[in-house]
């Protein structure tokens, strides 16, 4: 696991450079949205900012710093609900926004694993999720397990949808044809169908509902 930028002290500076971390992060998000993580390098980012790499390194030490800051920035765009008496509605609203942020920034879901998420935007929303789920009576490791189940479902659903976007209609059609031809080998799939490209939103909401139903009805 890489060291978190949020745990590292800022370097002392002899003079304030004309570049801000906020500007760096905004440009990094734009670059990632346009070209993905493979094209993100410190040199390329410096070029887009019309500055030198040395100046850039005053603000961020590594590419991992940039990715962590960019992740926190996009999660800052996820609306933070006003906590109310309906814990379930609060969780649905937060997780729907979380999923939308990952779909709007396709690079984000794939780099979440193994990366410390200690930015203020991520932590504020994770804390909200914990607080909402805690109203069901969950505490300690049980609460943590429930929060991980919900968060991992959202991340997984975004990854699956993003993976199916390229050539979505032909892929869905070929999947249906394959299942029809092999119904004897995969009878449950052949009988009940496979998720199609235009079903993602409904399937996400329904699946999240099943998870929350289970949390609400647990002994």
Question: What tokens were used for 51?
Answer: 């500055």
Residues 167 and 204 in one domain: yes
Residue 49, domain extent = 5-74
CA 100 to chain centre: 9
Report the chain's C-alpha Rg in angstroms.
21
Note whether 209 and 219 are within 8 A (CB): no
Nearest CA among 75, 67, 96 for reference residue 4: 67
CATH number at residue 48: 1.10.10.60
b/e burial code for range 17-33 (CB count within 10 A of at least 16 → b):
eebeeeebbebbbebbe
If one counts the domains in the chain, the total is 2
68 and 146 together in one domain = no
Structure tokens at 82: 């006003």
Which residue has 């709007």 as its token pair? 104
148 and 113 within one domain: yes
pLDDT, one tens digit per residue, over 158-196 is: 988 887 665 555 666 777 788 788 878 888 888 877 666
Is residue 92 within 8 A of residue 145, CB to CB? The reply is no
- The CATH number of whichever domain residue 86 belongs to comes to 1.10.357.10
Kindly state whether residues 170 and 117 are assigned to the same domain: yes
Phi, psi (degrees; rounded to nearest 5) at 2: -75, 155
Helix, coil or strand: residue 101: helix
Q: Which two tokens stand for residue 176?
A: 């249906």
Q: Do residues 59 and 159 share a domain? A: no
- Of 28, 44, 74, the residue at which a domain comes to its end is 74
CA nearest to 216, candidates 92, 61, 99, 102: 92
- Let me know whether 179 and 91 are in one domain: yes
Using alpha carbons, list the distances in angstroms from residue 209 to 129, 142, 154, 202, 213: 15, 19, 12, 11, 6
Q: In this structure, are 108 and 145 located in the same domain? A: yes
3-state secondary structure labels for all residues of 67-98: HHHHHHHHHCCCCCCCCCCCHHHHHHHHHHHH
Contacts of 125 (CB under 8 A, 6+ apart): 75, 78, 80, 94, 98
Residues 162 and 42: their CA atoms lie apart, in Å, by: 26
- Residue-wise pLDDT tens for the chain (219 aa)? 677 877 877 766 544 446 889 999 999 999 999 999 998 999 999 999 988 888 888 888 889 999 999 999 999 999 998 888 899 999 999 999 999 999 999 999 888 877 778 899 999 999 999 999 999 999 999 999 999 999 999 999 998 888 766 555 566 677 778 878 887 888 888 887 766 656 788 889 999 999 999 998 876
DSSP-assigned letter for residue 37:
G
Same domain, 160 and 123: yes
Residue 112 and residue 16 share a domain: no
Q: Looking at the structure, do residues 193 and 91 belong to the same domain, yes or no?
A: yes
Choose among 123, 129, 124, 121: nearest CA to 93.
Answer: 129
């Amino acid at each position: 696991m890489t060291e978190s930028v949020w745990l590292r002290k800022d370097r002392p500076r002899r003079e304030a450079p004309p570049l801000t971390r906020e500007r760096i992060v905004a440009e990094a998000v734009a670059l990632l949205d346009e070209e993905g993580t493979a094209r993100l390098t410190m040199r390329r980012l410096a070029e887009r900012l019309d500055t030198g790499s040395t100046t850039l390194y005053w603000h961020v030490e590594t590419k991992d710093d940039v990715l962590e800051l960019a992740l926190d920035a996009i999660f800052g765009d996820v609306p933070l609900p006003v906590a109310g008496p309906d814990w379930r509605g609060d969780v649905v609203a937060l997780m729907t926004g979380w999923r939308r942020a990952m779909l709007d920034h396709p690079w984000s879901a794939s780099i979440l694993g193994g990366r410390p998420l200690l930015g203020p935007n991520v932590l504020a929303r994770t804390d909200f999720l914990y607080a909402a789920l805690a109203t069901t009576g969950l505490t300690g490791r049980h609460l943590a397990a429930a929060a991980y189940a919900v968060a991992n479902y959202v991340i997984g659903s975004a990854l699956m949808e993003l993976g199916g976007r390229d050539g979505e209609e032909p892929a869905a059609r070929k999947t249906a044809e394959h299942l029809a031809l092999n119904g004897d080998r995969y009878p449950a799939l052949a009988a009940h169908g496979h998720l199609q490209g235009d079903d993602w939103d409904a399937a996400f909401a329904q699946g999240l509902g099943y998870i929350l139903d289970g949390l609400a009805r647990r002994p």
